[in-house]
Amino acid sequence: MTSAPLVLGIETSCDETGVALVRAHPDRSELVGEAVASSVDEHARFGGIIPEIASRAHLEAMGPTLRRALEDAGASLEDVDAIAVTAGPGLVGPLTVGASAAKALAVALDVPLYGVNHVIGPAAVGELVHGLFPVRLMALVVSGGHTTLLRVEDVVTGVTELGSTLDDAAGEAFDKVGRLLGLPYPGGPHVDRLAREGDPRAIRFPRGLTAAKDQERHAYDFSFSGLKTAVARWVEAREDAGEEVPLADVAASFADAVADVLVAKTIAACEREGIDTLVVGGGFSANSQLRELAAERCAAAGVTLRIPPLRFCTDNGAMIAALGAAAVRRGVAPSPLELPVDSSMPLELVTL
C-alpha cells in the first residue's frame, strides 16, 4: 500500500446503495469520490421498506454506482488498496448483496476486506468533516432504526454502548407520527418541514425516561413509544370532539419533545462521563430542531459539537469507507473472505 491507502466503501444495509472512496492519510481521512442510489421511491406506496425490493434495487444499482464513484474520484479499480463493506446490522438481503460485491472485488483485486458496523459509520464520517477524533468522545447515532449512545475511546477498537432506545427509535417515531398526521412516507422529513411552521410550545408532550426515578436504571436510554402514543391520543381527542387538528403545532411540539430528550440526556451523559466532544450522526441528525438545540445546548455546556453536513446524514458509502480507513490506519487485521452478514451485529463489534 501507498502512504495514503485508497479505501473503497460499500453500504447496502437498507434502501440506499452507497459507494465511496476515502484516502487514509496518517493524520486525516480524505473523501475523494462518492455516489449514492436510493430505492426509497419504490417503497413509498407500501409505507415502509420491503426487503425483497431493496435487494433487487441494490443488485441493479451496484455496478452503475461503483462506476460513478470511481469517475467522481478520477480513479480506477486498480487504484483501490482496501475494501470496507457494511456487515451489519441491517436487512439480510441488502447486506448480502453488498457483501457479495465486496468479496468479489477483494478477490479480483487481491486487496484486504473489512466488514464493518453500519451503526458506527455515522460517527466515523465525522473524521471526514472535522478531522481525526480526540482520545475520548461521545457519539449519538440517531436514525430510523437506531437511537444509540456510544462512548468512543477509539472509533475502531474502543467503542462502548452506554444506552439505546427501549422501543421506537427517534426516526421510527417520526415516521409513525407522520403517518398519523396523513403525511407521505417517509414521514420524518415531512414532519420536520411541517414543524417549522408550528409552535413547539403549543402542546406539552411527555419526555420519556427523564424523570428522577428513571435516572438510576435508564440514564443513558431513550423511549419514544409513549410520546408517539400521547400524540395519537391528543389528535384522536380533537377529532372526536369535531375540532380542527393544528397539524403544524402538533408536529412542532412532537419534534421539540424528541429533540429535547435526545439533547438533554446526551449532554448529561457527557458531563457524567467527563467528555467534552460530541458527535451526532445518522439519518435523524438531519432534523432541524435537533441540530439547532444541540448547537445551543452544547455551546452552553462547553461541549464541542461535531455534526455532519446534510449530505452525510442518510446512509452513504462515505461513512463505511471512513470507518474502513480508520481500520487501515490502525493496522487492524482484515476480515476473512467468508465474512458473514449479521442483521443484529452488536454495536461494540466494529469490524468482523
Cβ proximity of 1 and 8 under 8 Å: no
Provide the β-strand partners of residue 154: 158
> For the domain 6-118+315-329, what is the CATH superfamily, name and number?
ATPase, nucleotide binding domain (3.30.420.40)
Q: In this predicted model, what pLDDT tens digit does every residue of 299-337 receive, in sequence order?
A: 999 999 999 999 898 889 999 999 999 999 999 999 999
Q: What is the pLDDT along the chain (352 residues), one digit of tens a residue?
A: 456 999 999 999 988 999 999 999 998 899 999 999 988 777 777 777 788 988 999 999 999 999 999 999 999 999 999 999 999 999 999 999 999 999 999 999 999 999 999 999 988 888 888 888 888 999 999 987 889 999 999 999 999 999 999 998 898 899 999 999 999 988 889 999 999 999 999 999 999 988 888 888 899 999 999 999 999 999 999 999 999 999 999 999 999 999 999 999 999 999 999 999 999 999 899 999 999 999 999 999 999 999 999 989 888 999 999 999 999 999 999 999 999 999 989 877 777 6
Do the domains 6-118+315-329 and 135-310 sit in the same CATH topology, yes or no? yes
Q: Is the pTM of this model over 0.75?
A: yes
CATH architecture for the domain at 135-310 = 2-Layer Sandwich (3.30)
Q: How far apart are CA 6 and CA 71, in angstroms?
A: 14
- The cell for 308 is 455532519
Alpha carbons 91 and 113: distance in angstroms, whole number: 20
Give me the residue spans of the domains in the chain.
6-118+315-329, 135-310
CA distance 188 to 175: 5
Alpha-carbon torsion, ordered 71, 123, 345, 333, to 10 deg: 70
